[in-house]
A and B are shown apart, each in its own frame.
Chain A
Protein backbone atom coordinates (compact mmCIF):
# COMPACT_ATOMS: atom_id res chain seq x y z
CA UNK A 1 0.00 0.00 0.00
CA UNK A 2 2.05 2.87 -1.34
CA UNK A 3 1.61 6.23 0.31
CA UNK A 4 2.43 9.38 -1.56
CA UNK A 5 5.21 11.89 -1.08
CA UNK A 6 2.55 14.52 -0.23
CA UNK A 7 1.16 12.32 2.52
CA UNK A 8 4.61 11.98 4.06
CA UNK A 9 5.07 15.75 4.03
CA UNK A 10 1.59 16.31 5.45
CA UNK A 11 2.18 13.92 8.37
CA UNK A 12 5.58 15.48 8.98
CA UNK A 13 4.01 18.94 9.14
CA UNK A 14 1.39 17.74 11.63
CA UNK A 15 4.18 16.32 13.80
CA UNK A 16 6.20 19.54 13.39
CA UNK A 17 9.10 17.59 11.85
CA UNK A 18 11.29 19.12 9.18
CA UNK A 19 12.50 16.42 6.81
CA UNK A 20 15.59 16.73 4.64
CA UNK A 21 14.76 15.85 1.03
CA UNK A 22 16.82 12.63 1.26
CA UNK A 23 14.65 11.34 4.10
CA UNK A 24 11.31 11.93 2.42
CA UNK A 25 11.66 9.05 -0.02
CA UNK A 26 13.23 6.72 2.58
CA UNK A 27 10.35 7.39 5.03
CA UNK A 28 7.79 7.04 2.25
CA UNK A 29 9.11 3.51 1.56
CA UNK A 30 9.30 2.60 5.25
CA UNK A 31 5.81 3.89 6.06
CA UNK A 32 4.42 2.04 3.03
CA UNK A 33 6.10 -1.16 4.23
CA UNK A 34 4.63 -0.76 7.71
CA UNK A 35 1.13 -0.26 6.29
CA UNK A 36 1.57 -3.34 4.08
CA UNK A 37 2.62 -5.37 7.10
CA UNK A 38 -0.43 -4.31 9.10
CA UNK A 39 -2.64 -4.90 6.07
CA UNK A 40 -2.14 -8.64 6.53
CA UNK A 41 -4.82 -8.36 9.24
CA UNK A 42 -7.35 -7.74 6.45
CA UNK A 43 -7.12 -11.43 5.64
CA UNK A 44 -8.91 -12.27 8.89
CA UNK A 45 -12.69 -12.45 9.04
CA UNK A 46 -13.50 -9.90 11.77
CA UNK A 47 -17.26 -9.81 11.27
CA UNK A 48 -18.93 -9.66 14.68
CA UNK A 49 -15.69 -8.77 16.49
CA UNK A 50 -15.91 -5.59 18.56
CA UNK A 51 -13.06 -3.17 17.76
CA UNK A 52 -10.30 -3.73 20.30
CA UNK A 53 -9.24 -0.38 21.69
CA UNK A 54 -7.51 -1.95 24.67
CA UNK A 55 -5.95 -5.35 25.25
CA UNK A 56 -7.40 -6.03 28.70
CA UNK A 57 -11.09 -6.63 29.27
CA UNK A 58 -11.98 -4.35 32.16
CA UNK A 59 -13.39 -0.89 32.76
CA UNK A 60 -11.33 2.07 33.84
CA UNK A 61 -10.74 2.44 37.57
CA UNK A 62 -11.93 5.64 39.28
CA UNK A 63 -10.59 8.03 41.85
CA UNK A 64 -12.74 9.89 44.35
CA UNK A 65 -13.16 13.63 43.92
CA UNK A 66 -10.62 14.62 46.57
CA UNK A 67 -8.05 17.41 46.21
CA UNK A 68 -4.45 16.52 47.04
CA UNK A 69 -2.15 19.40 46.10
CA UNK A 70 1.11 18.32 44.50
CA UNK A 71 2.84 21.13 46.33
CA UNK A 72 6.06 21.42 44.35
CA UNK A 73 5.55 23.91 41.57
CA UNK A 74 9.30 24.54 41.43
CA UNK A 75 9.97 20.95 40.43
CA UNK A 76 7.55 21.34 37.50
CA UNK A 77 8.95 24.67 36.38
CA UNK A 78 12.52 23.40 36.74
CA UNK A 79 11.93 21.23 33.67
CA UNK A 80 10.98 24.17 31.47
CA UNK A 81 13.50 25.51 28.93
CA UNK A 82 12.36 29.01 29.83
CA UNK A 83 10.23 30.60 32.54
CA UNK A 84 9.12 33.95 33.80
CA UNK A 85 8.17 34.13 37.45
CA UNK A 86 5.79 31.23 37.93
CA UNK A 87 4.81 30.80 34.30
CA UNK A 88 6.23 28.71 31.50
CA UNK A 89 7.62 31.11 28.89
CA UNK A 90 6.91 29.98 25.35
CA UNK A 91 7.55 31.49 21.92
CA UNK A 92 4.79 33.78 20.79
CA UNK A 93 2.17 31.92 18.82
CA UNK A 94 1.42 33.34 15.41
CA UNK A 95 -1.78 32.02 13.88
CA UNK A 96 -1.28 31.25 10.22
Chain B
Protein backbone atom coordinates (compact mmCIF):
# COMPACT_ATOMS: atom_id res chain seq x y z
CA UNK B 1 0.00 0.00 0.00
CA UNK B 2 1.20 3.52 -0.86
CA UNK B 3 1.21 6.02 1.99
CA UNK B 4 1.44 9.78 2.07
CA UNK B 5 2.35 12.01 4.97
CA UNK B 6 0.35 14.95 6.27
CA UNK B 7 2.51 17.60 7.92
CA UNK B 8 1.61 20.78 9.78
CA UNK B 9 4.21 23.03 11.41
CA UNK B 10 4.09 25.36 14.39
CA UNK B 11 6.79 28.00 14.55
CA UNK B 12 7.64 29.97 17.66
CA UNK B 13 9.53 33.10 16.67
CA UNK B 14 11.02 35.52 19.14
CA UNK B 15 10.03 39.08 18.29
CA UNK B 16 13.05 41.41 18.04
CA UNK B 17 11.87 43.91 20.62
CA UNK B 18 14.30 45.48 23.10
CA UNK B 19 12.02 44.94 26.09
CA UNK B 20 9.78 42.05 27.13
CA UNK B 21 6.16 41.72 26.06
CA UNK B 22 4.50 42.73 29.37
CA UNK B 23 7.28 44.50 31.32
CA UNK B 24 10.31 46.74 30.72
CA UNK B 25 13.03 44.11 31.29
CA UNK B 26 15.61 43.64 28.56
CA UNK B 27 15.33 40.73 26.11
CA UNK B 28 19.11 40.62 25.49
CA UNK B 29 20.56 37.12 25.14
CA UNK B 30 23.32 35.93 27.46
CA UNK B 31 22.69 38.14 30.51
CA UNK B 32 23.67 36.96 34.02
CA UNK B 33 21.12 34.54 35.56
CA UNK B 34 17.95 36.40 36.56
CA UNK B 35 19.64 39.69 35.59
CA UNK B 36 16.75 40.55 33.26
CA UNK B 37 13.87 40.03 35.66
CA UNK B 38 11.44 42.17 37.67
CA UNK B 39 8.34 41.64 39.84
CA UNK B 40 6.10 41.39 36.73
CA UNK B 41 7.93 38.64 34.84
CA UNK B 42 8.70 36.68 38.01
CA UNK B 43 4.98 36.66 38.85
CA UNK B 44 5.05 38.53 42.15
CA UNK B 45 1.63 39.16 43.71
CA UNK B 46 -0.21 42.34 42.75
CA UNK B 47 1.70 43.17 39.57
CA UNK B 48 0.01 43.96 36.25
CA UNK B 49 1.19 43.23 32.70
CA UNK B 50 1.25 46.12 30.18
CA UNK B 51 1.46 45.19 26.49
CA UNK B 52 4.48 46.23 24.39
CA UNK B 53 3.20 48.12 21.32
CA UNK B 54 6.19 47.07 19.22
CA UNK B 55 5.48 43.39 19.80
CA UNK B 56 1.95 43.95 18.45
CA UNK B 57 3.29 45.84 15.43
CA UNK B 58 5.79 43.10 14.61
CA UNK B 59 3.04 40.48 14.76
CA UNK B 60 0.69 42.53 12.57
CA UNK B 61 3.46 43.10 9.99
CA UNK B 62 4.06 39.32 9.90
CA UNK B 63 0.33 38.76 9.45
CA UNK B 64 0.22 41.23 6.54
CA UNK B 65 3.31 39.72 4.88
CA UNK B 66 1.70 36.26 4.99
CA UNK B 67 -1.70 37.47 3.69
CA UNK B 68 -3.46 36.83 7.02
CA UNK B 69 -6.54 38.76 8.13
CA UNK B 70 -5.64 40.93 11.11
CA UNK B 71 -8.34 40.67 13.77
CA UNK B 72 -9.74 44.02 14.92
CA UNK B 73 -10.22 42.54 18.39
CA UNK B 74 -8.19 39.75 19.97
CA UNK B 75 -8.00 38.51 23.54
CA UNK B 76 -5.15 37.32 25.75
CA UNK B 77 -5.79 34.10 27.63
CA UNK B 78 -4.13 32.26 30.47
CA UNK B 79 -2.77 28.81 29.72
CA UNK B 80 -2.52 27.10 33.09
CA UNK B 81 0.09 24.55 34.05
CA UNK B 82 2.64 23.99 36.77
CA UNK B 83 6.29 23.99 35.92
CA UNK B 84 9.18 25.74 37.69
CA UNK B 85 10.15 27.71 34.59
CA UNK B 86 6.75 29.43 34.76
CA UNK B 87 6.50 31.41 38.00
CA UNK B 88 2.89 32.59 37.55
CA UNK B 89 1.76 28.97 36.91
CA UNK B 90 0.16 30.26 33.71
CA UNK B 91 1.50 31.50 30.40
CA UNK B 92 -0.18 34.54 28.87
CA UNK B 93 -1.10 33.51 25.34
CA UNK B 94 -4.00 33.90 22.93
CA UNK B 95 -6.49 31.11 22.40
CA UNK B 96 -9.96 31.54 20.93
CA UNK B 97 -9.34 35.01 19.54
CA UNK B 98 -5.80 35.29 18.13
CA UNK B 99 -4.46 38.42 16.47
CA UNK B 100 -4.44 37.00 12.92
CA UNK B 101 -6.21 34.26 10.94
CA UNK B 102 -6.17 32.62 7.53
CA UNK B 103 -3.08 33.46 5.44
CA UNK B 104 -0.61 31.61 3.27
CA UNK B 105 3.01 31.30 2.18
CA UNK B 106 4.08 30.14 -1.30
CA UNK B 107 6.99 27.72 -1.55
CA UNK B 108 8.95 26.35 -4.50
CA UNK B 109 9.04 22.57 -4.77
CA UNK B 110 9.96 20.36 -7.73
CA UNK B 111 10.15 23.35 -10.03
CA UNK B 112 6.61 24.46 -9.21
CA UNK B 113 4.93 26.66 -6.64
CA UNK B 114 2.87 25.29 -3.78
CA UNK B 115 0.68 27.30 -1.43
CA UNK B 116 0.84 26.41 2.28
CA UNK B 117 -2.02 27.80 4.37
CA UNK B 118 -1.49 29.61 7.66
CA UNK B 119 -4.21 28.86 10.18
CA UNK B 120 -3.42 31.53 12.73
CA UNK B 121 -0.79 33.75 14.31
CA UNK B 122 -0.96 34.57 17.99
CA UNK B 123 1.20 36.36 20.54
CA UNK B 124 2.45 34.89 23.79
CA UNK B 125 5.21 35.09 26.36
CA UNK B 126 8.16 32.71 26.65
CA UNK B 127 8.97 30.70 29.79
CA UNK B 128 12.23 30.61 31.77
CA UNK B 129 15.12 28.18 31.54
CA UNK B 130 15.96 25.29 33.84
CA UNK B 131 19.50 24.08 34.38
CA UNK B 132 19.87 20.71 36.05
CA UNK B 133 22.15 20.51 39.01
CA UNK B 134 24.97 17.98 38.69
CA UNK B 135 24.65 14.88 36.53
CA UNK B 136 21.19 14.63 35.05
CA UNK B 137 20.51 11.08 36.28
CA UNK B 138 21.05 11.82 39.94
CA UNK B 139 20.22 15.53 40.00
CA UNK B 140 18.38 16.51 43.16
CA UNK B 141 17.40 19.96 42.07
CA UNK B 142 17.07 22.24 39.08
CA UNK B 143 18.10 25.88 38.89
CA UNK B 144 15.66 28.37 37.39
CA UNK B 145 16.85 31.36 35.37
CA UNK B 146 13.82 33.50 34.55
CA UNK B 147 15.48 35.88 32.05
CA UNK B 148 13.47 34.43 29.19
CA UNK B 149 10.18 34.70 31.08
CA UNK B 150 7.92 37.10 29.16
CA UNK B 151 10.22 37.45 26.17
CA UNK B 152 7.74 38.10 23.32
CA UNK B 153 6.96 35.25 20.95
CA UNK B 154 4.58 34.81 18.11
CA UNK B 155 3.33 31.39 17.21
CA UNK B 156 2.62 30.79 13.54
CA UNK B 157 0.51 27.69 12.89
CA UNK B 158 0.34 26.23 9.39
CA UNK B 159 -2.46 24.20 7.84
CA UNK B 160 -1.62 20.47 7.44
CA UNK B 161 -0.78 21.21 3.79
CA UNK B 162 2.70 19.68 3.46
CA UNK B 163 3.17 16.14 2.17
CA UNK B 164 6.96 15.57 2.29
CA UNK B 165 9.88 16.53 4.56
CA UNK B 166 11.23 18.65 1.67
CA UNK B 167 8.02 20.68 1.59
CA UNK B 168 8.25 21.14 5.34
CA UNK B 169 11.85 22.36 5.01
CA UNK B 170 10.96 24.69 2.13
CA UNK B 171 8.08 26.20 4.11
CA UNK B 172 10.27 26.79 7.17
CA UNK B 173 13.05 28.39 5.15
CA UNK B 174 10.61 30.66 3.35
CA UNK B 175 8.89 31.67 6.60
CA UNK B 176 12.29 32.26 8.21
CA UNK B 177 13.32 34.50 5.29
CA UNK B 178 10.07 36.48 5.56
CA UNK B 179 10.52 37.14 9.29
CA UNK B 180 14.15 38.16 8.86
CA UNK B 181 13.24 40.39 5.89
CA UNK B 182 10.60 42.09 7.99
CA UNK B 183 13.14 42.57 10.77
CA UNK B 184 10.64 41.17 13.29
CA UNK B 185 12.82 38.19 14.31
CA UNK B 186 16.59 37.70 14.15
CA UNK B 187 16.04 34.11 12.98
CA UNK B 188 18.83 32.70 15.14
CA UNK B 189 17.94 29.03 15.57
CA UNK B 190 20.84 28.20 17.89
CA UNK B 191 19.74 30.83 20.41
CA UNK B 192 16.14 29.64 20.06
CA UNK B 193 14.78 32.72 18.29
CA UNK B 194 13.13 30.51 15.66
CA UNK B 195 11.80 27.15 16.88
CA UNK B 196 9.64 24.59 15.19
CA UNK B 197 7.30 21.79 16.29
CA UNK B 198 5.80 19.43 13.73
CA UNK B 199 2.52 17.52 13.61
CA UNK B 200 2.81 14.52 11.36
CA UNK B 201 0.58 11.61 10.40
CA UNK B 202 0.37 9.18 7.49
CA UNK B 203 -2.57 7.84 5.49
CA UNK B 204 -3.02 5.57 2.49
CA UNK B 205 -2.86 7.55 -0.74
CA UNK B 206 -6.40 8.44 -1.79
CA UNK B 207 -7.81 8.40 1.74
CA UNK B 208 -9.20 11.74 2.85
CA UNK B 209 -9.36 11.25 6.62
CA UNK B 210 -6.18 12.03 8.56
CA UNK B 211 -4.32 9.30 10.42
CA UNK B 212 -3.38 9.61 14.11
CA UNK B 213 -0.72 12.25 14.49
CA UNK B 214 2.43 12.58 16.55
CA UNK B 215 3.83 15.92 17.65
CA UNK B 216 7.60 16.26 17.16
CA UNK B 217 9.68 18.60 19.27
CA UNK B 218 13.33 19.49 19.85
CA UNK B 219 14.48 20.09 16.26
CA UNK B 220 16.82 23.05 16.18
CA UNK B 221 17.80 23.31 12.53
CA UNK B 222 16.08 23.09 9.15
CA UNK B 223 18.03 19.93 8.40
CA UNK B 224 16.97 18.34 11.69
CA UNK B 225 13.33 19.10 10.98
CA UNK B 226 13.62 17.33 7.63
CA UNK B 227 15.46 14.37 9.14
CA UNK B 228 13.01 14.04 12.04
CA UNK B 229 10.06 14.13 9.62
CA UNK B 230 11.69 11.49 7.39
CA UNK B 231 12.30 9.23 10.36
CA UNK B 232 8.84 9.70 11.85
CA UNK B 233 7.01 9.10 8.56
CA UNK B 234 8.94 5.86 8.03
CA UNK B 235 8.25 4.79 11.65
CA UNK B 236 4.50 5.36 11.32
CA UNK B 237 4.28 3.55 7.96
CA UNK B 238 6.19 0.58 9.38
CA UNK B 239 3.89 0.37 12.41
CA UNK B 240 0.82 0.34 10.21
CA UNK B 241 2.34 -2.27 7.90
CA UNK B 242 3.08 -4.40 10.98
CA UNK B 243 -0.60 -4.23 11.89
CA UNK B 244 -0.02 -1.90 14.83
CA UNK B 245 -1.57 1.47 15.62
CA UNK B 246 0.05 4.90 15.73
CA UNK B 247 -0.49 6.47 19.15
CA UNK B 248 -1.22 10.16 19.58
CA UNK B 249 1.74 11.45 21.57
CA UNK B 250 4.57 13.93 21.78
CA UNK B 251 7.94 12.66 20.56
CA UNK B 252 11.37 14.21 20.99
CA UNK B 253 13.90 14.25 18.15
CA UNK B 254 17.28 12.88 19.24
CA UNK B 255 19.66 14.38 16.69
CA UNK B 256 22.63 12.23 17.73
CA UNK B 257 20.79 8.93 17.47
CA UNK B 258 18.70 10.11 14.51
CA UNK B 259 15.43 8.85 16.03
CA UNK B 260 12.28 10.23 17.65
CA UNK B 261 11.52 9.07 21.19
CA UNK B 262 8.16 9.06 22.97
CA UNK B 263 7.88 11.53 25.85
CA UNK B 264 5.22 9.40 27.63
CA UNK B 265 3.41 12.29 29.23
CA UNK B 266 0.06 11.89 30.91
CA UNK B 267 -2.71 13.24 28.69
CA UNK B 268 -4.14 15.33 31.48
CA UNK B 269 -0.99 17.43 31.46
CA UNK B 270 -2.55 19.04 28.37
CA UNK B 271 -5.65 20.17 30.24
CA UNK B 272 -4.66 23.83 30.19
CA UNK B 273 -7.99 25.36 31.27
CA UNK B 274 -7.60 28.46 29.12
CA UNK B 275 -9.62 31.52 30.09
CA UNK B 276 -9.42 35.25 29.17
CA UNK B 277 -6.76 37.00 31.24
CA UNK B 278 -8.61 39.50 33.46
CA UNK B 279 -5.39 41.55 33.79
CA UNK B 280 -5.28 42.42 30.08
CA UNK B 281 -8.06 44.14 28.18
CA UNK B 282 -8.75 43.04 24.59
CA UNK B 283 -6.23 44.09 21.97
CA UNK B 284 -8.02 46.50 19.62
CA UNK B 285 -6.44 47.19 16.23
CA UNK B 286 -8.00 49.80 13.94
CA UNK B 287 -7.80 50.10 10.15
CA UNK B 288 -5.53 53.15 10.15
CA UNK B 289 -2.95 51.35 12.28
CA UNK B 290 -3.04 48.35 9.94
CA UNK B 291 -2.61 50.57 6.87
CA UNK B 292 0.24 52.44 8.53
CA UNK B 293 2.00 49.10 9.15
CA UNK B 294 1.18 47.78 5.67
CA UNK B 295 3.17 50.68 4.23
CA UNK B 296 6.29 49.44 6.06
CA UNK B 297 6.28 45.95 4.51
CA UNK B 298 9.35 45.52 2.28
CA UNK B 299 9.48 43.42 -0.88
CA UNK B 300 9.21 39.77 0.19
CA UNK B 301 11.73 37.05 -0.86
CA UNK B 302 9.53 35.44 -3.56
CA UNK B 303 8.76 38.80 -5.19
CA UNK B 304 12.41 39.80 -4.98
CA UNK B 305 13.62 36.60 -6.68
CA UNK B 306 11.14 37.13 -9.52
CA UNK B 307 12.06 40.81 -9.92
CA UNK B 308 15.84 40.26 -9.84
CA UNK B 309 15.48 37.65 -12.58
CA UNK B 310 13.28 39.94 -14.65
CA UNK B 311 15.19 43.17 -14.13
CA UNK B 312 18.77 41.90 -14.41
CA UNK B 313 18.31 38.78 -16.52
CA UNK B 314 20.13 36.58 -13.97
CA UNK B 315 19.22 32.88 -13.47
CA UNK B 316 16.60 32.24 -10.77
CA UNK B 317 19.13 30.08 -8.90
CA UNK B 318 21.43 33.11 -8.51
CA UNK B 319 18.47 35.37 -7.69
CA UNK B 320 17.47 32.88 -4.99
CA UNK B 321 20.89 33.00 -3.34
CA UNK B 322 20.99 36.80 -3.52
CA UNK B 323 17.47 37.10 -2.09
CA UNK B 324 18.24 34.72 0.77
CA UNK B 325 19.53 37.81 2.56
CA UNK B 326 18.00 41.25 2.19
CA UNK B 327 21.44 42.79 2.79
CA UNK B 328 23.03 40.68 0.03
CA UNK B 329 20.28 41.49 -2.48
CA UNK B 330 20.52 45.21 -1.71
CA UNK B 331 24.30 45.04 -2.06
CA UNK B 332 23.97 43.37 -5.45
CA UNK B 333 21.60 46.05 -6.69
CA UNK B 334 23.84 48.89 -5.52
CA UNK B 335 26.91 47.24 -7.13
CA UNK B 336 25.02 46.70 -10.38
CA UNK B 337 23.97 50.37 -10.33
CA UNK B 338 27.56 51.60 -9.88
CA UNK B 339 28.81 49.53 -12.80
CA UNK B 340 26.13 48.33 -15.17
CA UNK B 341 28.15 45.68 -16.99
CA UNK B 342 27.03 42.09 -17.18
CA UNK B 343 24.81 41.66 -14.07
CA UNK B 344 25.53 37.91 -14.06
CA UNK B 345 29.22 38.67 -13.35
CA UNK B 346 28.22 41.07 -10.56
CA UNK B 347 25.87 38.42 -9.15
CA UNK B 348 28.66 35.81 -9.22
CA UNK B 349 30.99 38.16 -7.36
CA UNK B 350 28.37 39.02 -4.72
CA UNK B 351 27.67 35.32 -4.18
CA UNK B 352 31.39 34.48 -4.03
CA UNK B 353 31.98 37.16 -1.34
CA UNK B 354 28.61 36.54 0.35
CA UNK B 355 29.91 36.16 3.91
CA UNK B 356 31.91 39.38 3.79
CA UNK B 357 28.99 41.21 2.18
CA UNK B 358 26.54 40.07 4.87
CA UNK B 359 29.09 40.85 7.59
CA UNK B 360 29.30 44.36 6.15
CA UNK B 361 33.06 44.31 5.51
CA UNK B 362 32.87 44.91 1.74
CA UNK B 363 31.51 47.96 -0.05
CA UNK B 364 29.47 47.74 -3.28
CA UNK B 365 32.14 49.95 -4.91
CA UNK B 366 34.74 47.21 -4.42
CA UNK B 367 32.66 44.64 -6.28
CA UNK B 368 31.60 47.15 -8.96
CA UNK B 369 35.26 48.13 -9.57
CA UNK B 370 36.40 44.50 -9.60
CA UNK B 371 33.78 43.60 -12.20
CA UNK B 372 34.43 46.69 -14.30
CA UNK B 373 38.22 46.24 -14.35
CA UNK B 374 37.86 42.60 -15.30
CA UNK B 375 35.34 43.21 -18.04
CA UNK B 376 37.58 45.89 -19.50
CA UNK B 377 40.56 43.58 -19.35
CA UNK B 378 42.48 45.88 -17.00
CA UNK B 379 43.00 43.04 -14.51
CA UNK B 380 42.84 39.26 -14.64
CA UNK B 381 40.35 37.11 -12.72
CA UNK B 382 43.17 35.96 -10.44
CA UNK B 383 44.28 39.53 -9.75
CA UNK B 384 40.68 40.54 -9.05
CA UNK B 385 40.32 37.84 -6.42
CA UNK B 386 43.65 38.71 -4.84
CA UNK B 387 42.74 42.42 -4.74
CA UNK B 388 39.36 41.84 -3.05
CA UNK B 389 41.18 39.75 -0.43
CA UNK B 390 43.59 42.66 0.06
CA UNK B 391 40.68 45.10 0.40
CA UNK B 392 39.32 42.88 3.16
CA UNK B 393 42.64 42.61 4.98
CA UNK B 394 43.87 46.20 4.58
CA UNK B 395 40.68 48.20 4.21
CA UNK B 396 42.23 50.21 1.36
CA UNK B 397 40.20 51.02 -1.80
CA UNK B 398 40.27 48.46 -4.60
CA UNK B 399 41.79 50.68 -7.29
CA UNK B 400 44.45 52.15 -5.01
CA UNK B 401 45.57 48.60 -4.23
CA UNK B 402 45.43 47.64 -7.91
CA UNK B 403 47.87 50.42 -8.85
CA UNK B 404 50.00 49.98 -5.74
CA UNK B 405 50.40 46.25 -6.38
CA UNK B 406 50.97 46.75 -10.10
CA UNK B 407 48.32 44.16 -10.86
CA UNK B 408 46.94 45.87 -13.96
CA UNK B 409 47.14 43.73 -17.06
CA UNK B 410 48.82 44.87 -20.21
CA UNK B 411 45.94 44.94 -22.68
CA UNK B 412 47.48 47.64 -24.83
CA UNK B 413 48.04 46.02 -28.27
CA UNK B 414 51.19 47.91 -29.19
CA UNK B 415 52.85 46.96 -25.90
CA UNK B 416 51.83 43.33 -26.43
CA UNK B 417 53.11 43.42 -30.02
CA UNK B 418 56.56 44.37 -28.74
CA UNK B 419 56.57 41.58 -26.17
CA UNK B 420 55.43 38.98 -28.68
CA UNK B 421 58.00 40.08 -31.29
CA UNK B 422 60.73 39.73 -28.70
CA UNK B 423 59.73 36.17 -27.78
CA UNK B 424 59.26 35.05 -31.38
CA UNK B 425 62.70 36.43 -32.32
CA UNK B 426 64.26 34.49 -29.47
CA UNK B 427 62.61 31.15 -30.40
CA UNK B 428 63.15 30.53 -34.15
CA UNK B 429 63.03 26.71 -33.81
CA UNK B 430 59.64 26.78 -32.09
CA UNK B 431 58.31 29.25 -34.63
CA UNK B 432 59.27 26.86 -37.43
CA UNK B 433 57.75 23.95 -35.51
CA UNK B 434 54.45 25.77 -35.01
CA UNK B 435 54.29 26.77 -38.67
CA UNK B 436 54.97 23.13 -39.59
CA UNK B 437 51.78 22.13 -37.76
CA UNK B 438 52.70 21.71 -34.07
CA UNK B 439 49.69 23.72 -32.83
CA UNK B 440 50.45 22.73 -29.23
CA UNK B 441 53.41 25.12 -29.24
CA UNK B 442 51.00 28.06 -28.92
CA UNK B 443 50.81 27.55 -25.18
CA UNK B 444 54.61 27.57 -25.04
CA UNK B 445 54.63 31.06 -26.60
CA UNK B 446 51.83 32.29 -24.32
CA UNK B 447 53.80 31.03 -21.34
CA UNK B 448 56.97 32.80 -22.51
CA UNK B 449 55.14 36.08 -23.11
CA UNK B 450 53.44 35.90 -19.72
CA UNK B 451 56.80 35.23 -18.09
CA UNK B 452 58.41 38.13 -19.91
CA UNK B 453 55.55 40.42 -18.77
CA UNK B 454 55.89 39.13 -15.21
CA UNK B 455 52.27 37.95 -15.32
CA UNK B 456 50.83 41.29 -16.33
CA UNK B 457 49.89 40.54 -19.91
CA UNK B 458 46.25 39.83 -20.67
CA UNK B 459 46.51 36.12 -21.66
CA UNK B 460 43.51 36.22 -23.96
CA UNK B 461 44.95 39.10 -25.90
CA UNK B 462 48.41 37.51 -25.99
CA UNK B 463 46.88 34.51 -27.74
CA UNK B 464 45.20 36.73 -30.30
CA UNK B 465 48.41 38.64 -31.04
CA UNK B 466 50.38 35.39 -31.31
CA UNK B 467 47.90 33.84 -33.70
CA UNK B 468 47.91 36.97 -35.84
CA UNK B 469 51.72 37.09 -36.02
CA UNK B 470 52.27 33.37 -36.54
CA UNK B 471 49.33 32.79 -38.84
Contact = CB atoms under 8 A, between A and B. Distances in A.
B82 interface: yes
Given A14-B271, A56-B281, A87-B143, A62 B38 contact: no
B259 interface: no
A91 interface: yes
Interface string B313-343: 0000000000000000000000000000000
Interface string A41-61: 000000000000110101111
A68 B34 contact: no
B143 A89 contact: yes
Contact of B53 (A62, A69, A85): A62
B258 interface: no
Interface residues of A, number: 37
Interface residues of B, number: 56
Secondary structure dominating the interface of A: loop
Nearest to B284: A59
B284 to A, nearest CB: 3
Contact of B39 (A76, A84, A89): A76
Nearest to A50: B73
B141 A62 contact: no
Given A61-B50, A67-B24, A93-B130, A87 B144 contact: yes
Nearest to B139: A92
A68 B38 CA distance: 10
Secondary structure dominating the interface of B: loop
B35 interface: yes
B271 A85 contact: no
Nearest to B17: A65
A69 B80 CA distance: 28
Nearest to B283: A60
Contact of A59 (B19, B140, B278, B282): B282
A63 B38 CA distance: 16
A65 B284 contact: no
A21 interface: no
Interface string B39-60: 1001010000011111110000
Contact of A53 (B144, B273, B282): B282
Interface stretch (B260-268, B378-386, B426-434, B451-459): B260-268
Given A54-B276, A54-B281, A92-B132, A67 B25 contact: yes
A73 B268 CA distance: 35
Contacts of B142: 89-93
B448 interface: no
Interface string B247-275: 00000000000000001111010010100
Given A60-B282, A63-B24, A70-B39, 12 more contacts: A14-B271, A54-B281, A59-B283, A60-B283, A63-B52, A68-B19, A86-B35, A88-B146, A89-B142, A89-B143, A90-B141, A96-B266
5 contacts: A65-B53, A69-B24, A86-B34, A87-B144, A95-B264
